Amino acid sequence: MPTVHARIGERLYVHGSVASRMLKTLDHGVSVCVTVTLLDGLVLARSAFHHSMNYRSVLVLGTATAVTDKTEKRAVLTAIVNRVMPGRAAEVREPSAKELNATTVLGLPIDEVSAKIRSGPPLDAEDDYALGCWAGVLPLKLMALPPQADPRLSKGIPLPAGVANWSRGDGRIVTKP
């Protein structure tokens, strides 16, 4: 199930509604596998069998436990908001007591981890390199587009600098309206 996550130290955190059947099940000590994958390209081979994707993927295995301490829960939710947009938690209203009670936060120790990466061109069968069809990689890139204000945003509220200058964290500006 897609969810925003955050890492604090050697723990991975996920959150969702207290009504979430998945989170309720995980809170009972069930083993879990959390996977994060970034798709970097479509690999188009000369044969259907060798088509693939270029990607970066990590998976964390373990047993999740509920975060019940309200101070820790607030810290985790702050980290999750800042994972979406660095510095954003300082610009918005904190969760109310009602919102905290409506949110489940689970922590998973980062003890067992596996990473897998696939990059590069297609790896066709040797005989297939002589075939007369195009093969290669269609690179993909996630990029921010110009921000779109909420239609109900009050007039005169400026675009925060963090949104206007958002980058991928590697020094490259993705969008600058």
Q: Please state whether beta strands 136-139 and 52-63 pair in parallel, antiparallel, or not at all (unpaired).
A: unpaired
pLDDT tens, 83-133? 999 999 999 999 999 999 999 999 999 999 999 999 999 999 999 999 999
Q: Is the dihedral of CA 50, 55, 59, 65 positive or negative?
A: negative
pTM of the model: 0.81
Domains of the chain (ranges plus CATH)? 5-39+54-119 (2.30.110.10)
Question: At which residue do the structure tokens 């088509």 appear?
Answer: 51
